[in-house]
Amino acid sequence: MLSYRHAFHAGNHADVLKHWMFTLVLDYFNQKDKPYWVIDTHAGAGLYRLDSSVANKTAEYLDGILRLQQSEAPEAFKVYLEAVAAANQDQTKLYPGSPWLASHLINPVDKLRLFELHPADAALLEQQFSAQKRQITIQPKDGFEGIKACLPPPTKRGIVLIDPPYEVKDDYSRVVNCIKDSLKRFATGTYLIWYPRLQRPEPQQMIDKLRSLDTDYLHVTLDVQKPAADGFGMHGSGMWVINPPWTLRQSLEPHLDWLAKTLAQDTTARAHCEGRQR
């Protein structure tokens, strides 16, 4: 399916959780003077206009990044919020997706590999990063398949972000299969998997399968409201991180309650963190 466009949801509560954690991992990798690769399997368009009619059809950013920007956020959000601000130096109301955040934070010796199947979004990526072709490669293809040629990266250090739209049920099983295959190729990579919190069995089934893998992991969930009475819609989201940086949990866990309160859409909002690190 090629109907999904992230522009309708840019800057929402799920983006805040995903991109905050993503920038924390990028910042950690930057602490070592060794090159690394970033691979984004479902890159999207890279930058989104929050003043567009598309974004304001749902205006989800009002209860997401805008709340964070208007709050006194803890120091742990500094890298993320500074990156968002950097995308708006021309005073345009923009929200940076994961490709832009990665391109902004990686070092000149690092590489960024972007996969995007939707032709319109792939074209936007090409236009956006046309001047950085030596460092950033864009492929208009299925990231679940494209990632295989990228692993292991020559640097032996790498971050993989996997966040499909989950429009079709197969995406959940494809995530698990992708991770299993990727770990065979690159067992020491750091993998970040985003998923929606829904009243359907597939998300929990995916998490159960990921938990059964023999890996270190960190699992963070953020619910901003109670599930809808009719069973439809996303009430929160989660991030599953395989081989997380050893500092990641201590960097984010103390601030999860604050984040849940800041982005809460009703009184049931909450966040949770659990993991296994040996």
Active site residues: 163
Token pair 């939707």 in the structure block, residue:
118
Place of tokens 């005073």: 91
Contact 141, 117 (CB under 8 A): yes
Q: In whole angstroms, give the CA distance from residue 205 to residue 201.
A: 6
In sequence order, what are the residues at sequence separation of 6 or more whose Cβ sits closer than 8 angstroms to the Cβ of residue 95? 10, 11, 15, 47, 48, 50, 55, 61, 65, 84, 87
Q: Could you tell me if 243 and 212 are in contact, meaning their C-beta atoms sit under 8 angstroms apart?
A: no
- What are φ and ψ of residue 122, in 5° steps? -60, -40
Terminal C-alpha separation, the chain: 39
Instruction: Give me 41's structure tokens.
Output: 């399997």
Q: How many angstroms separate the CA atoms of 2 and 177, rounded? A: 21
Determine what percent of the chain falls in helix, strand and coil, rounding each to the nearest 5. 40, 20, 40
Per the CB < 8 A criterion, the answer to whether 251 and 262 are in contact is no
CB count in 10 Å sphere of residue 84 = 23
